Amino acid sequence: MVHVYNCHPFASQQIVPTEQEPGLVCCGGDALFVVSAGGCKIEAYQMQEEGCTLICRFATMGTVQSILHSQIGDYLVTIEEKNGATDLRAYTNWRYQAVEKTRVGVRLLGHFLRGSSFRGAPKEQMEIIEIPLVEPPLCVACCAVTGDLLVGCARSLVIFSLRRQALSERLSVLDFERFLILHVPGWTPTQVALCAGFVALQMELEVLVVKLQRFQSRSEDSEPHALVPEEMIAGKDDVDETDSRRNGSEVHREPEDFIMFQRNQELLGEQAKECGVPVSLEWTGMENEARGSRGVTYVLHRRFAPDFFQGCSVEETCLHSLQLRPLFTVSSSQEGAVEAKEPTCVFCFFSLPNTGYMYSLRNTVELISTYQYPEKAQQAVLSDQFLHVITRSALQCFSARCSAVAARVKDPYIDTTIKACPLFTMAVCALRIQLFIGLKSLCHDRNRIVLLTAADVGARAATPRARTGSRKSSLPRVKESSEGGHGWNLYVVNTVSTLQLYNEMVEYSQKYESTNPLSHSCVHLLSEAHLLLRAALLEPRVTDPAEREELQRAFQESCAQLGDCYSRFDKRESHLALPYYKMSGLPVTEIVQRNRPFPGNSAAYGKGFLFYLKHSLYEETMEELDQETANAVLDIFAEAEPGQLPHVVCSPFMCHARPPLALAHLQRLEAAGAPSVVLTLAMATLALRLGDAPLYRQQMGRHAEMLQVYGFIEEPKLLLQGRGKGVVPSALARHLRDTQEGLLVAGVVALHENSKVRLEEADLFFQELCRDGAETQGGPQLLVDFWEALLVASSQDAVIQELLFRLTSVYIDRVARTDQEGIKPLKTADDLINSCCHYGTLFPWVSVLTPTQLGITPGNLSVTPSNQEDLEKLQSLLCGPSLDVSSVVPLLEQLSDGDPAGLIVQVLCAARLGQHEHAIDRLLHHCPQALIPYANHELQQERTALWWQKVFPELCKRARSTDSENSIVLSALKETLVVVAAELNPLEFLELLPDDGTAEFFLPHLLECCQRNLTA
């Protein structure tokens, strides 16, 4: 459905002072080109100047049947007929005719590229380039991105690339090179279009769009695209090609009395290759690189069946106005610059007599808009902002959805809670229907529309004869008719500026709002105005900073107006108030003022406004509210959604709200029968702000700590605020730090495990919370308590490994220092060993490595009671199954060998890393009484050989000593002999004995070894 409004997109019109009756017109580059009715002369007019002054006038080589201007290269291309032959020509440097440089050069396509040279210095002149073709040209199109040329013939489509050939240091000329032929058997196009690699061709009731592109490998060519088939042989019968191509997307004539039409069909994207239309490529250019990896991808196929109920005959029911429209946008890297490589979007438009269709071709291929015309359309032209259509007697201006599509391509945050844009599927609207008499043709260039009108003079039957006569006669008769008033006119209609039309549409929408504040027409018209501003802001040609700033201000105003509309809605679209208000840049205070209840309905707040208010509070994207606004917000929620009050009170942006007022609202909510843990904790927070200690204790004593933890999960702002930009502990968190550390740590652990806070944010929270307290090595003790508690609770492997490294670093750092007095952790080493699988039970030999066993006296004892707990936790982690010991080896540099705690940790790390020989040497040197427990625990299975390879020789060597440790060494040697005798046979055992050993010392073990060997 098309919404019809009565806006004024057309600012003014002026008549082009052409002397002869126009036959064909086209425009581009701020110039208007008029082909006389006789068809052999072209006049160029300047559209920018008042009165449309004449730029130049030049003759053509034949009768012009079609004319087109290319913005890229500023050249004209014509299809001309002369002496019964139809030719294609390009007119370049036509502006030289304006300075009376009458020289005109005529040359063949590719003349300069093939080595021809001038005699003498080249001169500036207009050039006519003859473009030879095997078949007569039927239609032509220029690429708006590259300036390339697409020519439609009866059996094929030919693409010519635009080139610039340098003739000298100061002069260069344009030229073309034929580089590709597309063979589409059975298709005789009525119109073609070319843009950024997309090729569109149209027959009477069928449209096909393909894309020329490169593919990674030639093996992919078979399915999505086709290269030149081997069976394509010159001279093959066209009738055979037509019959063999597909199940007729065109009319089939079997008996003469019947005409059969195919049904409607639409194939988009990947489905389009099932259309049955073969497209083959024939490369003809000089460049051969990567041809094997080039092909076509089917993009769109649309077939229509004629609709005889629209008052059109079969001949009239055919497609027209095929266009490919690129949309360039402002580059994200440099404001005001054009995207250099390719357009952001490409649109395809074509039209039936009563319906127009616009498709988006880039990214996702989809139908964007369908236009229903009130009467038969003769021609339509698509621009970035509008679709202009002419009927027999009216110029119609419809809205276009190009900016809505481009906005979604450029901005990934569109259609989120951050940003919004009207949907491109929104119903189109007709902004204006301007009456003209006898409209014949239409063309468009930037903000100007060119209309050719020719009124029917006399009887209808005499019209063709009169037109023919005017073409033959020529100038005298035209002058005579102009004196008495001729029946044709050529108009240049200027469109209004974007801001002027936007302001009119806003004023228009206010009329709808005054009659019905919830009218959908009001929102629809504001959305149309919003899309106009988006299109202007995306336009790269808007380079004036003042103009762009003015457009940006209007854009924010438009967002605020849409936010106002959606904030009052109780429909599904009410959530759009949030992103539109965010884009408006308005402060919350002003938005609250704009959403005062409607007159006569004092308690009514829109669903969209409440949605905005809740999300702004929860997402923490607003500014701190002053006392008046904060109190107003409390009153709004107390009336509209009282269940949200506990969450609203906890918001950091409500800090200026009066605590007695907030407490009164919460007490009324509780009295109404809606108690909850969050409500209780919110009231406790308010009691702290009021300094009411009895009320605080009363509220905190109403629920067990576990239920309070659930309350923190439901409302994290009870503990921390400002997530993502700077974590700020709440007043309740600071109070819990001094009174209930365990509850505080448990609450933050629960928030992390429920994805309410990240690990880095929790670290910042505890560091900020303990900033004024005693600092300890490795961070505040509460932070270490949090890491230990989180390690117990977490099941995420990445988090576990991070916590293991952090805790190991803290423990090593604290063990290496002696200034840890006064630290009281929440959990002891025994607590962690019993509750956490990552803390392992200490190995039996580790308990032997005590300062006393190491010979350290209390006077020089470095392991104080304060860090003894950290040493046990470190040992437990090293004995556990989860810690990667190799990751903490660099940290051991803080521990010295002379320190007993350092020795214990280093020996434990060496054992975990499999460095047993190194560990044995350290034990023999510092604590030989721990050697046998170490060996019994560590030297098992594949490491058993170390008993006789390392332990036995070292003990024998040290047994010869007569120091005080000799008895410990001898005891260890005896236990070692028991193990060695049990594992080796007598001969191997004898080879191990030292030469100077005492026989009676080793004899019992040798005898035991022999007896065990005989028994075995």
- pLDDT recorded at residue 925: 81
Does pLDDT of 936 surpass 80? yes
pLDDT beyond 60 at 611: yes
Pairing label, strands 294-303, 345-351: unpaired
Residues 901 and 951 in one domain: no
1010 and 882 together in one domain: no
Share of the chain above pLDDT 70, in %: 80
Least confident window among 301-310, 360-369, 823-832:
301-310
- Is it the case that residue 417 has pLDDT exceeding 80? yes
Q: Of 920, 862, 865, whose CA–CA distance to 895 is shortest?
A: 862
DSSP per-residue codes, 754-806: TTSS-HHHHHHHHHHHTTTS---TTS-HHHHHHHHHHHHH---HHHHHHHHHH
Query: pTM for the full model?
Result: 0.79
551 within a domain of the structure (yes/no) = yes
Domain co-membership, 795 together with 903: yes
Phi, psi of 167 (to 5 degrees): -95, -30
pLDDT at 736 over 80: yes
Using pLDDT thresholds of 50, 70 and 90, give the confidence band for residue 230.
Answer: very low
Predicted local distance difference test score (pLDDT) of residue 161? 92
- The reported pLDDT for the residue numbered 984 is 75
Nearest residue to 983 via CA among 941, 930, 924: 941
Q: Identify the pLDDT of residue 978.
A: 78
Per-residue pLDDT at 222 exceeds 50: no
Q: Which of 283, 296, 300, 441 is nearest to 358 (CA)?
A: 300
**Is 292 domain-assigned?**
no
Nearest Cα neighbor of 192 from 179, 181, 182, 202 is 202
* pLDDT for res 954: 81
Which of 271-280, 941-950, 992-1001 bottoms out in mean pLDDT, i.e. has the lowest? Answer: 992-1001
Task: Check pLDDT > 60 for residue 471.
Answer: no
More confident call, 36 vs 951: 36
Domain assignment present for residue 468? The answer is no
Q: How confident is the model at residue 493 (pLDDT cuts 50, 70, 90)?
A: very high
Local confidence band at 19 (pLDDT 50, 70, 90 cut-offs)? confident
Q: Which residue has the higher pLDDT, 405 or 309?
A: 405
Q: What is the mean pLDDT of residues 473-479?
A: 31
- Judge whether residue 427 has pLDDT over 60: yes
- With residue 905 as reference, give the H or E element that holds it: helix 900-912
* CA-atom Rg of the chain in angstroms: 44
pLDDT at 456: 66
pLDDT at 80 over 80: yes
**876 and 804 part of one domain:** yes
Q: Output the average pLDDT for the chain.
A: 82
Same domain, 883 and 787: yes
Of the listed ranges 255-269, 349-363, 785-799, the least confidently predicted one is 255-269
For the segment 148-164, what is each residue's pLDDT rounded down to a tens digit? 999 999 989 999 999 88
Per-residue pLDDT tens digits for 341-374: 689 999 999 999 999 999 999 888 999 999 999 8
**Judgement on whether residues 887 and 870 belong to the same structural domain of the protein:** yes
Judge whether 851 lies within some domain.
yes
Q: Which of 41-55, 578-592, 969-983 comes out lowest in average pLDDT?
A: 969-983
Res 218: pLDDT = 44
Residue 811 lies in a domain: yes
pLDDT at 195 over 90: yes
Please indicate, yes or no, whether residues 857 and 949 belong to a single structural domain of this protein: no
- Taking only the tens place, the pLDDT of each residue in 882-914 is 999 999 888 888 887 667 788 888 888 988 888
> At 888, phi and psi to the nearest 5?
-105, 0
Specify if 462 maps to a domain.
no
The percentage of residues in the chain with a pLDDT greater than 90, rounded to a whole number, is 48
- Are 792 and 916 part of one and the same domain? yes
Does the residue 903 lie in any domain?
A: yes
pLDDT band for position 793 (cuts 50, 70, 90): very high
**Least confident range of 303-307, 868-872, 973-977:** 973-977
pLDDT at 480: 34
Q: Give the pLDDT confidence score for residue 997 in this predicted structure.
A: 58
636 falls within a domain: no
Same domain, 866 and 947: no
How far, in Å, CA of 700 to CA of 324, rounded? 69
Look at 466 and 530; give whichever has higher pLDDT: 530
Residue of 28, 101, 108 lying closest to 58 (CA atoms): 101
What pLDDT score was predicted for residue 773? 60
- With cut-offs at 50, 70 and 90, classify the pLDDT of residue 76: very high
Look up the domain containing 525 and give its range: 497-599+608-618
Let me know whether 932 and 958 are in one domain: no
Same domain, 923 and 952: no
Q: Answer whether residue 772 shows pLDDT above 90.
A: no
Residue 541 neighbours by CB under 8 Å, 6+ apart? none
Q: Give the C-alpha separation, 112 to 164, whole Å.
A: 10
Are residues 520 and 569 located together in one domain of the fold?
yes
**Last residue within a domain, chosen from 914, 938, 962:** 938
* Dihedral angle computed from the Cα positions of residues 418, 423, 428 and 432, in that order, rounded to the nearest 10 degrees: 10
Q: Average the pLDDT over 606-624 and give the result.
A: 85
Tally of domains within the chain:
3
- Interatomic CA distance for residues 996 and 122, integer angstroms: 112
Of 618, 651, 683, the one marking the end of a domain is: 618
336-345, 422-431, 557-566, 736-745: the lowest-pLDDT one: 336-345
Where among 918, 938, 958 does a domain terminate?
938
